[in-house]
Amino acid sequence: MNAAQVIESFRKEFPGIEISLAEQGAGRHKKVQVWATVAVKDFKNAVKHLFTIQEYPHFSVSSGSDIGKEIEIINHFVLNYGEPGEQVPFHLKVKLPKGNPVMDSITGLFPGAVISEQEKMEMLGIKIEGVPKKRVFTDESMPAGIYPWRKDDKGPEKIARNLHEGEGK
């Protein structure tokens, strides 16, 4: 299934999904990526749907950021690996309201996603159902309730030593 067919398949399965194709380069150097945003309730099913495209899709990592009233989580998948030139990176977004930042875990589908999910909980203060809360990257001296990637009052600005401010002075 090429990128256009992947998009078509998702539109059919999840009406109302925001999904688009991003292209870069031309000819043999052309690279495509698919970006999609689903509702939180559809997230796990959307991930399951990837298994209809390739027997075992690849989960690379999830990234995320604080976008104001919501926390945006982007799960980066890879489809069609193993086929020369046919790989389709698939970036699946969910937006979690800060009042209830809860989402489903995908470790049932990708057991290898556990570090990534724990990292998002630790860095952004979200909750992922069924994944035990554990410090993965931050030191134990990091105060509880402070999440390094948050931009609001739960962020690290108050406790950070802004070394960069002294640069060049």
Per CB under 8 A, residues contacting another protein are 22, 24-25, 28-29, 31, 33, 35, 56, 58-61, 63-65, 74, 76, 78, 80-87, 89, 91, 110-116, 135-139, 148-149, 156, 160, 162, 164
Which residue from 70, 68, 132, 142 is spatially nearest to 105, judged by alpha carbons? Answer: 132
Q: Which is nearer to another protein, 13 or 156 (CB)?
A: 156
Q: Which is nearer to another protein, 154 or 156 (CB)?
A: 156
Whether 113 contacts 107, CB under 8 Å? yes
- How many beta carbons lie within 10 A of that of residue 73, not counting itself? 24
**How near is the Cβ of 43 to another protein at its closest, in Å?**
18
Q: Which is nearer to another protein, 15 or 145 (CB)?
A: 145
The residues, ordered by sequence, that sit 6+ positions from 123 with a Cβ below 8 Å of its Cβ are 64, 137, 138, 147, 148, 149
**How near is the Cβ of 132 to another protein at its closest, in Å?**
11
Q: Which is nearer to another protein, 30 or 41 (CB)?
A: 30
CA 93 vs. chain centroid, Å, equals 6
Q: Which is nearer to another protein, 38 or 113 (CB)?
A: 113
**How near is the Cβ of 55 to another protein at its closest, in Å?**
9
**Position 63: which residue type?**
S
**How near is the Cβ of 131 to another protein at its closest, in Å?**
13
CA 167 vs. chain centroid, Å, equals 33
Handedness of CA 47, 31, 95, 111 (dihedral sign): positive
CA 90 vs. chain centroid, Å, equals 10
Q: Which residue has the tokens 């046919």?
A: 86
**How near is the Cβ of 12 to another protein at its closest, in Å?**
25
